Chains A and B, each alone.
Chain A
Amino acid sequence: MAHKISRSEILLLAIHQFYSGLSWELIKFMVAASLRGVIRRKFIACELSGSVMESYELIEHTADIGIRVKGASLEDIFRNAAAAMFDIIAGEKPKTPQQRPQPRNIAVGQKADNLEDLFLNWLNELLSLSATKELIFSDFLIDKLDENNLKATAIGAGIENYKVNTEIKAATYHRLKIEKVPGGWQAEVIFDV
């Protein structure tokens, strides 16, 4: 489960990132976020890409849940949004190294008329695969991505290894945004929960 991160925790994390040699831009973003008093925010380490992905923010919605994600590249946005979605859905149960579940890789291919549709199809395809294969995905490798095509690998483990918190029925078109912003990309999506 994503926990509420205090402002001081974000600052500490920023200092940690500074010593890990991360970009000044990202640190500035994190400090600014801490000062804005973000609702709930989680920093997710992406072991596969070797980089640290940026955070997501929850958007207040009366009935449902929305997220705002940022990233340096389009690939980041697709990865971060997927990671955020599964972070809302479930949290990993504590495990010893011996108990770690065998990861499963699922290939995901999507085609669409435009980037927004592709983004939405990606998230909905992951929800659908998660439900039918009874997996929770935690890592995402983007093999190929342009405006109309996506080839990716979603890596997950059996749902029994997780504590499921929230059912997300689908990602919706309502107020869907994916756009270039200074320093990278930003996307917003509202989930039906």
Chain B
Amino acid sequence: MTSDFVLEKIDDYRWRIPRAYKAGMRVPGIIYADEKLLKDIYRDKALEQVANVAFLPGIVNASLAMPDIHWGYGFPIGGVAATDIEEGGVVSPGGVGFDINCGVRLIKTDLQYEEIKDKLKDLIPALFSDVPAGVGSKGDIRVSPKEEKEILVNGSKWAVKKGYGIEEDLEYTEENGAIAGADPDAVSQRAYERGKAQSGTLGSGNHFLEVQVVDQLYDAALCDSFGLNLGQVMLMIHSGSRGFGYQVCEDYVRSMVHCLQKYNINVPDRQLACAPVNSPEAKEYLGAMRCAANYAWANRQCLMHLARLSFEMVLGKPWEKLGMRLIYDVAHNIAKVEKYRLNGKDKNLCVHRKGATRALPAGHPALPERYKNIGQPVIIPGDMGRNSYLLVGTEKAAETFYSTCHGAGRVKSRTASTRSTDLNVLLKDLQSKGIIVMASGRHTIVEEAPQAYKDVNDVVNVVHNAGISRRVCRMRPLGVIKG
């Protein structure tokens, strides 16, 4: 248990685990949280995991944790770690996770809630039937083996070429929906087989598709730049690389466990298995991981396409006329090589974001023209009963390697949630808030009940007040599709 953990207070939103906490920590741990959230954080084993990540060779500045941090396996969920590649910095497949490039995209519409409130009872079931969801679900979008390789290299670009979206969608996707350096030869045959039928599927667990409405504006100028108003209807999609990504991660955790001995690496948890970024093993992993990342971007692009078609069908207008434009798509499980200036030197760092979102500031060269002056949109999904947020990145986030939180963060285990949640009471409660929920399994709804999560409002307050991102607006759910 971590209840006796001694954290040093840096300020109201930053807490330090000193290096002295555990012999072997190369840097301290820094947790972004307020006193209220810390109470929950203390309850599970996440802080111990923050300390464990600090063992990674080449880690710079600190092992970071966002306010939605909770106990994961190896890395905590909500963990950020950057390693200096030239100084023997490592990449750890466990620091990305099994669902490689699990991420979220936000689409706006020109619709107002008042216009569609009577149509939601048709729209939500249409989305539920047209977007394949559920454990191991198979997509309607079928691809040949040759095309499969193309997806792994070209990601969302493949989808747009096939007619599942438009060029503009690529501009508003992290890495334009296709990260460079994907190596299909580094992917096992098993991963191909496992991913074959699942492109264009939502997945299960915490993955979802939500129709939402903007219910609070925080920054009038930013909302104007995004073209967002109160009452505006939005669509949010949360999914990842499905079985394909799980297999890639599994293959490489298995092989990198051997690297611990080979490269004389000491980590307290073998799920932190890793290898120096410049080693052949790491290069191979990164090549395969990028394939999975591209697969996930193609997946979310296909899901958005299917959702746009559902809107068209129910509302009787082409999606372009409904103003269904992609605001942004961000990954929250990924490792990327990024340039930073550290102690006066330009460095290539391998930034792991395990349940954390990239949040670039205004003026960053990787941003599309439209966001050059406002910063990267950051999308924070909450639980199905409360809120979700749109934020933007800030210069202050340089201290977190331009990273911020990724969601509400679990506070209750799935078993505890199932034990304490009555499905009928929950559905009635959601109904009284005007939220329609459809899921392929009852199981998912109770496991994902709002009380299993921290309040996303508290989490977002911390990143906003700590200055590592800025609030733009808040949404509340109208309809939720769960796997």
A and B from one assembly?
yes
Residues of A within 8 A of B (CB): 1, 4, 39-40, 58, 60-65, 89, 113, 117, 121, 124, 127-128, 131-132, 134, 159, 163-167, 169-170, 172-176, 190, 192-193
Say yes or no for B398: interface residue by CB 8 A criterion: no
Say yes or no for B243: interface residue by CB 8 A criterion: yes
Size class of B's contact patch? Answer: 35 or more
Q: Which residues of chain B (28-71) have a CB below 8 Å from chain A?
A: 44, 46, 70-71
Q: Judge whether B134 and A65 touch: CB under 8 Å.
A: no
Q: Judge whether B73 and A190 touch: CB under 8 Å.
A: yes
Say yes or no for B135: interface residue by CB 8 A criterion: yes
Given A62-B413, A128-B250, A190-B73, check contact A173 B135 (CB 8 Å). no
Say yes or no for B433: interface residue by CB 8 A criterion: no
Bound CA–CA A102/B411 (angstroms): 42
Q: Report the number of A-B residue pairs with Cβ-Cβ less than 8 Å.
A: 109
Q: C-beta contact mask, B239-250 vs A, less than 8 Å → 1, else 0?
A: 000010011011
**What residues on A are CB-neighbors of B419 within 8 Å?**
4, 39
Say yes or no for B415: interface residue by CB 8 A criterion: yes
Would you mind naming 20 contact pairs between A and B with Cβ atoms under 8 Å apart?
Answer: A39-B419, A60-B415, A61-B413, A62-B411, A65-B414, A124-B250, A127-B246, A131-B243, A132-B194, A159-B136, A164-B134, A165-B443, A166-B205, A170-B98, A170-B250, A172-B74, A173-B270, A173-B271, A192-B97, A192-B246
Q: How far is the CB of B474 from chain A (nearest CB, A)?
A: 24
Q: Judge whether B134 and A63 touch: CB under 8 Å.
A: no
**What residues on A are CB-neighbors of B136 within 8 Å?**
131, 134, 159, 164, 167
Q: Which residues of chain B (416-451) have a CB below 8 Å from chain A?
A: 416, 419, 441, 443, 447
**What residues on A are CB-neighbors of B443 within 8 Å?**
1, 165-166
Bound CA–CA A173/B77 (angstroms): 16
Given A61-B413, A193-B414, check contact A132 B250 (CB 8 Å). no
Say yes or no for B217: interface residue by CB 8 A criterion: no
Pick the residue among B74, B77, B94, B273 that contacts A63 (CB under 8 A).
Answer: B77
Q: How far is the CB of B68 from chain A (nearest CB, A)?
A: 11
Given A62-B71, A121-B254, check contact A172 B271 (CB 8 Å). yes
Q: How far is the CB of B240 from chain A (nearest CB, A)?
A: 10
**What residues on A are CB-neighbors of B97 within 8 Å?**
192
**What residues on B are CB-neighbors of A40 within 8 Å?**
415
Q: How far is the CB of A109 from chain B (nearest CB, A)?
A: 14
Q: Which residues of chain B (188-211) have a CB below 8 Å from chain A?
A: 190, 193-194, 203-205
Q: How far is the CB of B413 from chain A (nearest CB, A)?
A: 5
Bound CA–CA A127/B243 (angstroms): 10
Say yes or no for B467: interface residue by CB 8 A criterion: no
Given contacts A128-B190, A131-B136, 12 further A-B contacts (CB under 8 A): A62-B410, A62-B412, A62-B413, A63-B71, A64-B414, A164-B136, A165-B135, A166-B414, A166-B447, A173-B74, A174-B73, A192-B97
Closest to A129 in B: B190
Q: Judge whether A132 and B193 touch: CB under 8 Å.
A: yes
Given A167-B136, A193-B414, check contact A63 B70 (CB 8 Å). yes
Say yes or no for B126: interface residue by CB 8 A criterion: no
Top 7 closest A-B pairs, CB basis? A174-B73, A173-B270, A172-B73, A169-B98, A173-B271, A62-B71, A132-B193
**What residues on B are CB-neighbors of A164 within 8 Å?**
134-136, 441
**What residues on B are CB-neighbors of A128 within 8 Å?**
190, 194, 247, 250
Q: How far is the CB of A55 from chain B (nearest CB, A)?
A: 15
Q: Judge whether B203 and A167 touch: CB under 8 Å.
A: yes
Say yes or no for B253: interface residue by CB 8 A criterion: yes
**What residues on A are CB-neighbors of B273 within 8 Å?**
173
Given A62-B70, A128-B247, A132-B190, check contact A117 B441 (CB 8 Å). no
Say yes or no for B72: interface residue by CB 8 A criterion: yes
Bound CA–CA A128/B243 (angstroms): 8
Q: Judge whether A192 and B73 touch: CB under 8 Å.
A: yes
Bound CA–CA A154/B17 (angstroms): 46
Say yes or no for B257: interface residue by CB 8 A criterion: yes
Q: Judge whether B270 and A167 touch: CB under 8 Å.
A: no
**What residues on A are CB-neighbors of B169 within 8 Å?**
none
Bound CA–CA A176/B94 (angstroms): 15
Say yes or no for B84: interface residue by CB 8 A criterion: no
Bound CA–CA A159/B205 (angstroms): 18
Pick the residue among B71, B194, B249, B257 that contacts A117 (CB under 8 A).
Answer: B257
Say yes or no for B8: interface residue by CB 8 A criterion: no
From A65, A163, A167, name the one whose CB has the most chain B CB atoms within 10 angstroms.
A167
Bound CA–CA A39/B420 (angstroms): 12
Say yes or no for B369: interface residue by CB 8 A criterion: no
Q: Which residues of chain B (349-402) have a CB below 8 Å from chain A?
A: none
**What residues on B are CB-neighbors of A4 within 8 Å?**
419
Bound CA–CA A172/B413 (angstroms): 17
Bound CA–CA A117/B253 (angstroms): 11
Bound CA–CA A39/B136 (angstroms): 27
Q: Judge whether A167 and B73 touch: CB under 8 Å.
A: no
Q: How far is the CB of A6 from chain B (nearest CB, A)?
A: 13
Say yes or no for B99: interface residue by CB 8 A criterion: yes
**What residues on A are CB-neighbors of B412 within 8 Å?**
62
Bound CA–CA A145/B95 (angstroms): 32
Q: Judge whether A174 and B269 touch: CB under 8 Å.
A: yes
From A60, A127, A128, name the one whose CB has the most chain B CB atoms within 10 angstroms.
A128
Q: Judge whether B71 and A39 touch: CB under 8 Å.
A: no
Q: How far is the CB of B15 from chain A (nearest CB, A)?
A: 19
Q: Judge whether B44 and A62 touch: CB under 8 Å.
A: yes
Given A65-B414, A170-B249, A173-B271, check contact A165 B441 (CB 8 Å). yes
